[in-house]
Structure 1
Amino acid sequence: MADIWCDVLEMPEVGHDDNFFDLGGHSILLQMVQIRIAERTGRDVALIDLFNHPTVRALARHLDGGPGTGGAPAPRAARRPGGRTSRLGDRRARLGGEGPQFPGDLGD
């Protein structure tokens, strides 16, 4: 994986924990990574998996089904502390109530 990233990002080396996007990567380059992984390994990797695992180490673990991956990406809330659910709950609390519980529920 690191060799592919080096080729695509035109860098001499990348660390196992360097974030693809912090190194200058973007969605078009990520598609190039996707293509090169398929060419070199014969394995099709979903683009979303590349977004969800933006380091060489995380991607390798995911592809190997290593510890903590279960072969599937972590739920979004687990990847991002203070994700959307927390922000929405905080906003509702500031507004003085729970608000609608389900889509379409007006909270009578």
Structure 2
Amino acid sequence: MTSQSPPPQQRTEQVVAEIWSEVLELPQVGPQDNFFDLGGHSLLLAMVREGIARRLGRDVPLVELFAHPTVSALARYLDGGGRSSQARPRALDRARLGSRRAALRGGTGD
């Protein structure tokens, strides 16, 4: 399978696409290509993680590689300093859960 999307434009996208191309043994990977749709799986993600560490000097948690399955999404995550776009919703969910628990106990949740 080869990519039908245009080539990556940004440096981080280019590096991520090169790493995926090497790991997946594909001639080209585009910014909107999904790692798993291209034949990737969890064991190959470990190789991607190692490639990112070697080429970009970043230690990316495996969970973030699952959470950002396209070249562009992973590049945005990396360029954003490694802050997951999922972090804020999780914090909000914890706050809501705390409010619900307090309400069940008869408190205000504050």
1:59 deviates by 0.3
SS in 1 for 2:72: helix
Contact 1:49 1:73 in 2 (8 A): no
1:71 deviates by 2.2
1:64 deviates by 0.9
Contact 1:64 1:71 in 2 (8 A): no
Show structure 2 runs of 5+ residues with no match: 1-15, 90-99, 105-110
Map 1:29-68 → 2, pairs under 5 A? 29-65=44-80
Show structure 1 runs of 5+ residues with no match: 78-100
- Flag the structure with more relative contact order, 1 or 2, with Cα contacts below 8 A and sequence separation at least 6: 2
Task: Compute the TM-score of the two structures, normalised by the length of structure 2.
Answer: 0.62
Identical amino acids, percent of aligned pairs: 61
Task: Compute the TM-score of the two structures, normalised by the length of structure 1.
Answer: 0.63
Which of the numbers 79, 86, 95 marks the counterpart of 1:74? 86
- Matched residue count: 77
After the TM superposition, list the runs of 4 or more consecutive aligned residues in structure 1 that deviate by more than 4 angstroms. Answer: none
Calculate the aligned-residue CA RMSD, in Å.
2.3
1:15 deviates by 1.1
